[in-house]
Amino acid sequence: MQDAAATPTPDPYDLLPDPVLRLDPAGRVTSANRAAAALGVMPGLSFLDCLRADDRTASEAALRLALPFDARFATLPERWWWLRPTAAACGGTVVIGADVTSRRAGERSGRRNAVEHVLTALDEIHDAFVIYDRDGRLVVCNRRFRALYGYTEEEARPGVHFRELGEIDVRRGNVIVGDGEGMEGYLERKAEYRRRLTGTFDVLLKDGRWIQTRDRRMPDGGFVSIQTEVTESRRAEAALKAAKDAAEAALRDVEAANAQLGQFAYVASHDLREPLRMVISYLDLLQRRHAGALAPEALEFMTHARDGAQRMNQLLLDLLAYSRVGRGGDAPAEVAVAQVLGAVAANLELALRESGGALVLPEAVPAVVGARPELVSLFQNLIGNALKYRHPDRPPRVEVTAEADPAAGRAVFRVADNGIGIEPRFHERIFQIFQRLHPRGRYEGTGIGLALCRRIVEHHGGTIRVESEPGAGSTFTVALPLAGPRPKRSAADELLGA
């Protein structure tokens, strides 16, 4: 009869259908149940050597951290096992496994279905969509990408480098490369963009379409590339630039013409006044020395000639003032209009006294941005005209009001009188140079005063208009840039350049 003590004690783990094994601190197998042995796990072997080579790195990290992990054994590479390492009481590690192939297959199927849904959705979008790996090789793209550049499925296949696609583009003439750039220059420019992955990369296709590429880095080092047709916006930009260039050229021409005209007016006014002064001087001399020897008719002729010469001199002075607007050379500065109105009142004190008129000035007057001498000329012309064109049945009364409009960045001034008024059909004409509504015998003047006012106001970036009826007086409204902080501009104002 055999000794009962000699019968080996069966390993209870052999009764389990799943693998159970023990590892020493070095990671070698010290024992394995039958299920583990059936997978090629034998005592003395390195556990990691029993796994598929491409699963070992992740498994080693999980073992070191005592974290569960999925892996495949080298003897049965098509099946997945969930393996849970646990520290053993006697030292080392106990690893228990469970077959999770079916679960992994379900997950893989779900992922595959999700990927197919995503790819289907990508094929429906209007933009070209590409994913490249960290080495610049194509992972996936949609139909729009192939159609945009005329690639076959073989050409735009997974694994192809974006440089190869660029070579196809240049070789076929799909894209228009820059003058003197050539294939290498174009490819290097594209590679440099993809090294930086900032901004956009625009290309012109042979059919005239513009494509804008926007690439963005992904966490794994690869990048997503979205390519959009921007032909219409590029055309709009080109048209806008052409219009802007044309407008700037026209503005330069106008400025040059104005400069030449201003210079001509200045020279002509200055040079023409010299012979006029001589004519006036000789007429005065002739009248003083020979008045007694001349017939009354001759004296009358001399008086008319002298008056005409003086009017011509005044006309040239006014023309000179008109041509000098904006030519002072000083930068616009803050101007206290209250002081300007005070200076004008002092200049017109005699005219006010002779006409028996009244001038009412505002107490609170906003400051504006501009040139003080020109603003003195502006208000002196407006108030002087109010005194000149007074109503015969009443003494002149001129009232100046002022208000600030911070929202519009404007200071608004109104010069109102009780004079003879102006017919509405002449409201625009009076601002044109050399335009007179009344005969010279009734009202003196050269017809430049209000034209000068408009030129001054427009040079300051403002506006001027008149409201008037015959016999009911006139109100001239002037808007000038308000001094001080400007109002915030809206996005629409910025876009329109308002």
Confidence tier at 488 by pLDDT (50, 70, 90): very low
Would you place residue 175 in the very low, low, confident or very high pLDDT band (cuts 50, 70, 90)? confident
- pLDDT top residue among 350 and 290: 350
Evaluate if residue 345 carries a pLDDT over 80. Answer: yes
User: Is residue 306 predicted with pLDDT exceeding 60?
Assistant: yes
List, as own/partner pairs, every contact residues 234-242 make where C-beta atoms lie below 8 angstroms and the sequence separation is at least 24, other chains included. 234/202, 234/210
In this predicted model, which residue has the larger pLDDT, 191 or 389? 191
For range 469-491, the mean pLDDT: 77
Lowest mean pLDDT among 64-73, 319-328, 379-388: 319-328
d(CA 326, CA 371): 9
Provide the pLDDT for residue 494. 39
- Which residues sit opposite 95 in a β-bridge? 21, 85
Most confident range (mean pLDDT) of 177-186, 310-319, 474-483 is: 474-483
Per-residue pLDDT at 420: 85
In the chain, what's the furthest Cα-to-Cα distance? 183
pLDDT of residue 486: 54
Average the pLDDT over each of 42-46, 73-77, 422-426, 465-469 and give the range with the smallest value: 422-426
* Lowest mean per-residue pLDDT among 56-60, 225-229, 303-307: 303-307
Which residues neighbour 43 within 8 Å (Cβ) at sequence distance 6 or greater? 29, 30, 31, 32
- pLDDT recorded at residue 429: 78
In sequence order, the β-bridge partners of residue 84 are 96
Rounded Cα distance, 136 and 131, in Å: 9
pLDDT by residue (tens digit) across 105-164?
A: 766 665 655 556 666 767 777 888 898 998 999 888 888 899 889 899 899 888 899 999
Q: Which of 12-16, 132-136, 168-172, 326-330 has the lowest mean pLDDT?
A: 326-330
pTM: 0.43
Tens-digit pLDDT profile for residues 32-77: 999 999 999 999 999 999 999 988 988 888 888 788 898 999 998 8
DSSP annotation of 178 reads P
Q: Is the pLDDT of residue 7 over 60?
A: no
Q: What is the pLDDT of residue 264?
A: 66
pLDDT given at position 496: 39
Q: What's the full length of the chain, in residues?
A: 498
3-class secondary structure, 207: coil
Higher pLDDT, 333 or 276: 333
The least confident of 50-54, 278-282, 324-328, 345-349 is: 324-328
Residues 111 and 252: their CA atoms lie apart, in Å, by 65
Q: Between these two residues, 178 and 58, which has the higher pLDDT value? A: 58
Q: What is the mean pLDDT of the chain?
A: 82
Beta strands in 19-118 (DSSP E): 20-23, 29-32, 69-73, 76-87, 93-99
Q: Where are the alpha helices (DSSP H) in 325-448?
A: 337-347, 349-355, 372-388
pLDDT the model gives residue 6:
53
Q: Is the pLDDT of residue 495 over 50?
A: no
Residue 399: per-residue pLDDT: 93
pLDDT at 409 over 80: yes
Q: What is the CA radius of gyration of the chain?
A: 48
Task: Kindly tell me if the per-residue pLDDT of 317 is higher than 80.
Answer: no
State residue 123's pLDDT score.
Answer: 74
**Cβ contact 95:73 at 8 Å:** no
